[in-house]
Protein backbone atom coordinates (compact mmCIF):
# COMPACT_ATOMS: atom_id res chain seq x y z
CA UNK A 1 0.00 0.00 0.00
CA UNK A 2 1.25 3.48 -0.85
CA UNK A 3 2.33 5.82 1.89
CA UNK A 4 0.19 8.91 2.53
CA UNK A 5 2.94 11.27 1.36
CA UNK A 6 3.31 9.47 -1.99
CA UNK A 7 -0.45 9.41 -2.46
CA UNK A 8 -0.71 13.13 -1.78
CA UNK A 9 2.12 13.89 -4.21
CA UNK A 10 0.44 11.79 -6.92
CA UNK A 11 -2.86 13.65 -6.40
CA UNK A 12 -1.08 16.99 -6.71
CA UNK A 13 0.64 15.88 -9.93
CA UNK A 14 -2.63 14.64 -11.45
CA UNK A 15 -4.33 17.91 -10.48
CA UNK A 16 -1.57 20.02 -12.03
CA UNK A 17 -1.65 17.99 -15.25
CA UNK A 18 -5.43 18.45 -15.43
CA UNK A 19 -5.11 22.18 -14.81
CA UNK A 20 -2.44 22.43 -17.50
CA UNK A 21 -4.68 20.57 -19.95
CA UNK A 22 -7.57 22.98 -19.30
CA UNK A 23 -5.32 26.01 -19.77
CA UNK A 24 -3.95 24.52 -23.01
CA UNK A 25 -7.46 23.91 -24.41
CA UNK A 26 -8.55 27.44 -23.48
CA UNK A 27 -5.47 28.90 -25.19
CA UNK A 28 -6.11 26.88 -28.37
CA UNK A 29 -9.78 27.92 -28.40
CA UNK A 30 -8.77 31.55 -27.99
CA UNK A 31 -6.38 31.29 -30.93
CA UNK A 32 -9.07 29.72 -33.13
CA UNK A 33 -11.61 32.41 -32.24
CA UNK A 34 -9.10 35.21 -32.88
CA UNK A 35 -8.16 33.72 -36.24
CA UNK A 36 -11.84 33.44 -37.23
CA UNK A 37 -12.49 37.05 -36.25
CA UNK A 38 -9.49 38.23 -38.29
CA UNK A 39 -10.68 36.28 -41.32
CA UNK A 40 -14.22 37.67 -40.94
CA UNK A 41 -12.84 41.20 -40.74
CA UNK A 42 -10.86 40.69 -43.95
CA UNK A 43 -13.79 39.28 -45.96
CA UNK A 44 -16.36 41.84 -44.82
CA UNK A 45 -19.70 41.44 -43.12
CA UNK A 46 -21.54 38.19 -43.66
CA UNK A 47 -24.77 39.93 -44.67
CA UNK A 48 -23.30 41.57 -47.76
CA UNK A 49 -23.79 38.93 -50.41
CA UNK A 50 -22.38 39.62 -53.84
CA UNK A 51 -25.62 39.04 -55.75
CA UNK A 52 -26.43 41.55 -58.42
CA UNK A 53 -30.04 42.75 -58.60
CA UNK A 54 -30.21 41.84 -62.29
CA UNK A 55 -30.04 38.12 -61.50
CA UNK A 56 -33.46 36.44 -61.34
CA UNK A 57 -34.70 35.13 -58.04
CA UNK A 58 -34.05 31.41 -57.67
CA UNK A 59 -36.99 29.18 -56.93
CA UNK A 60 -36.86 26.80 -54.03
CA UNK A 61 -35.94 23.76 -56.14
CA UNK A 62 -32.40 22.75 -55.16
CA UNK A 63 -32.56 19.39 -56.95
CA UNK A 64 -33.64 21.03 -60.20
CA UNK A 65 -30.76 23.50 -59.90
CA UNK A 66 -28.34 20.59 -59.65
CA UNK A 67 -29.94 18.86 -62.61
CA UNK A 68 -30.98 15.82 -60.60
CA UNK A 69 -34.69 16.15 -61.30
CA UNK A 70 -36.57 18.26 -63.85
CA UNK A 71 -38.28 21.40 -62.67
CA UNK A 72 -42.00 21.13 -62.19
CA UNK A 73 -43.97 23.15 -64.73
CA UNK A 74 -45.97 26.00 -63.29
CA UNK A 75 -49.70 25.27 -63.36
CA UNK A 76 -52.76 27.32 -62.54
CA UNK A 77 -54.12 24.86 -59.99
CA UNK A 78 -53.34 21.55 -58.38
CA UNK A 79 -53.65 18.59 -60.66
CA UNK A 80 -55.34 15.47 -59.37
CA UNK A 81 -55.30 12.06 -60.93
CA UNK A 82 -58.70 10.60 -61.87
CA UNK A 83 -59.81 7.98 -59.45
CA UNK A 84 -61.68 4.87 -60.45
CA UNK A 85 -64.14 3.32 -58.09
CA UNK A 86 -62.98 0.05 -56.67
CA UNK A 87 -65.42 -2.81 -56.57
CA UNK A 88 -65.46 -5.51 -53.99
CA UNK A 89 -64.70 -8.93 -55.48
CA UNK A 90 -67.82 -10.94 -56.10
CA UNK A 91 -68.02 -14.56 -55.11
- The pLDDT value given to residue 63: 76
**Residue 17's pLDDT band (cuts 50, 70, 90):** very high
**Residue 85's pLDDT band (cuts 50, 70, 90):** low
Cα distance between residue 8 and residue 5, in whole Å: 5
Mean residue pLDDT across the chain: 78
- Does residue 29 register a pLDDT over 70? yes
- Does residue 64 register a pLDDT over 60? yes
- What's the average model confidence in pLDDT over 15-41? 96
- The pLDDT value given to residue 54: 61
Amino acid sequence: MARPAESAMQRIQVGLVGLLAVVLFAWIASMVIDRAEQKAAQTGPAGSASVSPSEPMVKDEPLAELGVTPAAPEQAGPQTAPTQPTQAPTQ
